[in-house]
Amino acid sequence: MAAQAVLRSSAPARLLSGSFYIRKGVLASWQHYQSRRPFSNEKVLVELDESTVMKMKNPPVNSLSLDVLTEFSISLEKLEIDRGCRGVILTSAFPKIFSAGLDITEMCGKSAEHYAAFWRAVQEMWLKLYGSNMVTIAAINGSSPAGGCLMAMCCDYRIMADNPKFAIGLNETQLGIVAPFWFKETMVNTVGNRVTEQSLQLGQMYPAPDALKIGLVDKLVTEEKVQSTAVAAMSQWLAVPDHARQITKSIMRKPTIDNLVKHREADINNFVSFITKDSIQKSLQVYMDRLKQKK
């Protein structure tokens, strides 16, 4: 029930509405006490040290299952209403993998109701992260295909481990599926139209150095320095007055967010009718089999 309640609330209210601050003020004291403690979730750890760090921990590859997405949205919502938290670093608990993207098993052989619930959870994660009032920094400590890349692109700043074996991109077409319009818009807002057009059609994954060249990530550092560099970047971003930074972020992102909010139900219906097609189910199955065979 709690998960559903959170999943129905919408992120733009956080980024765009003044009432958010009133709510923050009223609830601040007990929330401050509550949320300054680390959360002990199963698959999304929230550590409150020098900086607030959200660590995805869904072995083996941090695929974004319905559970992970739900837990992620709830954790982010908790931080969002915590006045003591102005910024969050998003990373992975595992070396070498940031996130393998959406959990393909959630999109195979399930009911239409399941697909609809799953897709709503994907949308909610995006609305909350892309629409966050907080400074969000992705510490990309490994590969990050598709939904993993989307999460990273939702952040304000991206630091990636400097290893050409780690790649990032929206590779959906390689699976025989299509990145929806709001994935596309997030990428356009990050790297521009021309690069997005080519990347999406080819389903291109960019090794870290190439990701830096096209502006998909902002900085490369050695694997060991990813998190400390994120902490340093966070202090830089937090030196800017919150209200000015938040309004600017909102001006930049509002049209993209509004577009999904407006078409949210149609987007769910589109996803369900697309993913239930036999040909798409077959493509996903072939892709999964190939993943398993590569060992």
Ligand X SMILES: CCCCC/C=C\CCCC/C=C/C(=O)SCCNC(=O)CCNC(=O)[C@H](O)C(C)(C)COP(=O)(O)OP(=O)(O)OC[C@H]1O[C@@H](n2cnc3c(N)ncnc32)[C@H](O)[C@@H]1OP(=O)(O)O
Catalytic positions are 102, 147, 171-172
Quick check: 76 and 11 in contact, CB under 8 A?
A: no
Is the Cβ of residue 126 or residue 271 nearer to ligand X in the bound state?
A: 271
CB 252 → ligand X: shortest distance, Å? 24
Q: Is 259 exposed, middle or buried (0-12, 13-18, 19+ CB in 10 A)?
A: middle
CB 3 → ligand X: shortest distance, Å? 21
CB 200 → ligand X: shortest distance, Å? 11
Q: Which of residues 122-181 bind ligand X (CB under 6 A)?
A: 143, 145-147, 171-172, 175, 177-180
Two structure tokens written together for 145? 């295909």
Q: How many residues bind ligand X (CB under 6 A)?
A: 28
Q: Which of residues 25-64 bind ligand X (CB under 6 A)?
A: 60-61, 63
Quick check: 82 and 30 in contact, CB under 8 A?
A: no
Helices 147-154 and 181-191 meet at what angle, rounded to 10?
50
Q: Which residues, including other chains, have CB under 8 Å from residue 54's CB and lie 6 or more apart?
A: 44, 45, 46, 72, 75, 76, 79, 88, 89, 90, 91
d(CA 290, CA 286): 6
Q: Pick from 97, 187, 208, 226: which binds ligand X (CB under 6 A)?
A: 97
Quick check: 2 and 70 in contact, CB under 8 A?
A: no
Q: Which of 243, 186, 256 is nearest to 12 (CA)?
A: 256
> Strand locations in the chain, DSSP E?
44-48, 52-56, 87-92, 96-97, 135-140, 142-145, 157-161, 167-169, 206-207, 219-221
Q: Which of residues 178-197 bind ligand X (CB under 6 A)?
A: 178-180
Two structure tokens written together for 80? 């969002």
Q: Which of residues 211-270 bind ligand X (CB under 6 A)?
A: 270
Is the Cβ of residue 132 or residue 171 nearer to ligand X in the bound state?
A: 171
Contact region with ligand X (CB under 6 A), list: 17-25, 93-101, 124-132, 188-196: 93-101
Q: Pick from 101, 135, 158, 216: which binds ligand X (CB under 6 A)?
A: 101
Which positions from 264 to 283 touch ligand X by CB under 6 A, shown as an x/- string? ------xx--xx--------
CB 96 → ligand X: shortest distance, Å? 6
Q: How far from the centroid of its chain's Cα atoms is residue 242's Cα?
A: 22
CB 149 → ligand X: shortest distance, Å? 8
Cα–Cα separations (whole angstroms), residue 246 to 58, 60, 237, 285: 31, 35, 11, 42
Residue 98 binds ligand X, judged by CB under 6 A = no
Cα–Cα separations (whole angstroms), residue 191 to 153, 218, 220: 10, 11, 16
Is the Cβ of residue 68 or residue 233 nearer to ligand X in the bound state?
A: 68
d(CA 51, CA 65): 26
CB 160 → ligand X: shortest distance, Å? 14
Is the Cβ of residue 132 or residue 144 nearer to ligand X in the bound state?
A: 144
Is the Cβ of residue 168 or residue 226 nearer to ligand X in the bound state?
A: 168
Is the Cβ of residue 135 or residue 275 nearer to ligand X in the bound state?
A: 275
Residues that bind ligand X (CB under 6 A): 60-61, 63, 97, 100-105, 143, 145-147, 171-172, 175, 177-180, 270-271, 274-275, 291-292, 295
